[in-house]
């Protein structure tokens, strides 16, 4: 760990989360005005791409922890929330009055910032950004996979295969003839819209601004989704978890759905009222649910969702790709350039709604 003296035209960045040597070099190549403070011995080994919490069996000895925290407390910016721990983030913000910017690794990093319970002054002093958009491609593919699974009767196919039952032939749904309600037209939603449009689906999107995007045939405000629920064959959620979106998909919404509709969730688990969803699955109002996120994670072992014939459980893994670490490093470098040049940062956390 170095102790380079600051200059106004440079940015001292402490690496608080696992970052490979290759990606360290990539960041410095993209933005040479960064002074990167990194010691690989102080960072936990990752078990898979984007495993920024690292191996839970790994721990820093007390002396290494002191060195790690000293590095964090000397920086203008942090690459990652220390140990993906809101308590550690709060400690660092309060111990380091020079800290200007923290980049969170998750697309939904705002929830981690909220959990740190920072004061209004601290939230005003430090900029927070997320990795939103990096995961758009993989999540959009999972969303399309879920819509296709519902249209093609994946639960029925899997049940027949499990029981060795040939059964009779039936007419499968065609995505090209379906109407899809897409909740959220941000980075993920925009890619989902384009992919569904390419399959010929009619896409109804939701947007606060009412502004449409490529691939969306109609835009409605969130407070009208119950009105359109009876007209859609599938629902794809890409919304973040905020006070405004909590249990947005509730009993009232599911009761209004066209029977047999598909639900895909690649946003946040808190958007779906799981009690209401299970009731809708049992009644057939929801014919298939492809879920990558849940209200409680890991999904409790006694959750009825595990064993439901019409549910596909994905353990919050649909966003991962081998390119993720590189893309986050590139995003960080781009934002560092913006910060040094006095420009607005990409993916700023809204410190009111925390998304």
CB atoms within 10 A of CB 250: 16
How is the beta sheet containing 202-206 ordered, strand by strand?
A: 218-220, 202-206, 179-183, 234-237, 261-265, 286-291, 311-313
Q: Decide if 336 contacts 12 (C-beta within 8 A).
A: no
pLDDT for residue 33: 98
Report which secondary-structure segment, H or E, holds 111.
Answer: helix 110-115
| Rounded Cα distance, 41 and 51, in Å | 16
Helix, coil or strand: residue 78:
strand
pLDDT for residue 209: 79
Backbone angles phi, psi at 290, to 5 degrees: -105, 110
Per-residue pLDDT of the chain (355 residues; tens, 9 = 90+): 333 344 579 999 999 999 999 999 999 999 999 999 999 999 999 999 999 999 999 999 999 999 999 999 999 999 999 999 999 999 999 999 999 999 999 888 999 999 999 999 999 999 999 998 899 999 999 999 999 999 999 999 999 999 999 988 999 999 999 999 999 999 899 999 999 999 999 999 998 877 889 999 999 999 999 999 999 999 999 999 988 999 999 999 999 999 999 999 999 999 999 999 999 999 999 999 999 999 999 999 999 999 999 999 999 999 999 999 999 999 999 999 999 999 999 999 999 989 8
- Give the active site residue among 268, 285, 295, 310: 268
Locate tokens 């009111």: which residue?
352
pLDDT for residue 208: 82
Dig out the tokens for 250 from the structure.
């509730």
| Rounded Cα distance, 120 and 339, in Å | 21
pLDDT for residue 3: 38
Q: Decide if 44 contacts 53 (C-beta within 8 A).
A: yes
- Give the active site residue among 247, 316, 326, 338: 316
Does residue 268 have an active-site annotation?
A: yes
pTM over 0.95? The answer is no
pLDDT for residue 7: 52
Helix, coil or strand: residue 274:
helix
**Number of separate helices (H) and strands (E) present in the chain:** 12, 12
- Give the active site residue among 4, 177, 297, 343: 297
Name the nearest CA neighbour of 324 among 78, 51, 8, 112. 51
Does residue 297 have an active-site annotation?
A: yes
Does residue 310 have an active-site annotation?
A: no
In eight-state DSSP terms, residue 82 is: G
Strand partners, 261: 286
| Rounded Cα distance, 279 and 299, in Å | 18
């Amino acid at each position: 760990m170095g102790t380079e003296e600051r200059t106004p035209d440079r940015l001292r960045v402490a690496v608080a989360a696992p970052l490979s040597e290759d990606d360290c070099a990539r960041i410095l190549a993209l933005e040479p005005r960064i002074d990167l403070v990194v010691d690989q011995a102080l960072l936990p080994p990752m078990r898979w791409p984007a495993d920024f919490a690292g191996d839970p069996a790994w721990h820093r000895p007390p002396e290494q922890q002191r060195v790690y925290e000293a590095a964090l407390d000397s920086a203008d910016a942090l690459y990652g929330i220390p140990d993906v721990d809101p308590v550690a983030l709060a400690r660092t913000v309060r111990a380091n009055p020079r800290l200007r910017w923290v980049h969170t690794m998750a697309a939904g990093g705002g929830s981690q910032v909220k959990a740190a319970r920072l004061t209004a002054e601290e939230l005003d002093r430090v900029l927070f950004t997320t990795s939103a958009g990096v995961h758009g491609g993989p999540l959009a593919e999972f969303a399309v996979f879920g819509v296709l699974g519902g249209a093609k009767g994946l639960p029925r196919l899997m049940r027949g295969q499990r029981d060795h039952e040939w059964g009779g032939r039936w007419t499968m749904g065609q995505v090209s003839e379906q109407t899809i309600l897409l909740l959220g037209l941000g980075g993920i939603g925009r890619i989902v819209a384009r992919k569904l449009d390419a399959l010929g689906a009619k896409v109804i999107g939701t947007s606060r601004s009412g502004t449409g995007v490529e691939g969306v045939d109609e835009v409605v405000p969130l407070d009208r989704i119950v009105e359109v629920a009876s007209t859609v064959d599938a629902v794809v959620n890409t919304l973040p978890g905020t006070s405004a979106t909590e249990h947005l998909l509730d009993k009232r919404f599911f009761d209004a759905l066209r029977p047999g509709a598909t639900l895909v969730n690649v946003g946040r688990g808190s958007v779906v009222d799981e009690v209401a969803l299970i009731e809708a699955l049992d009644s057939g109002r929801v014919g298939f649910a492809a879920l990558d996120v849940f209200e409680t994670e890991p999904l409790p072992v006694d959750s009825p969702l595990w064993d439901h014939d019409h549910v596909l459980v994905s353990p919050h893994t649909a966003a991962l790709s081998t390119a993720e670490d590189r893309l986050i490093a590139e995003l960080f470098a781009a934002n560092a350039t913006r910060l040094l040049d006095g420009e607005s940062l990409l993916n700023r956390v809204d410190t009111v709604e925390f998304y």
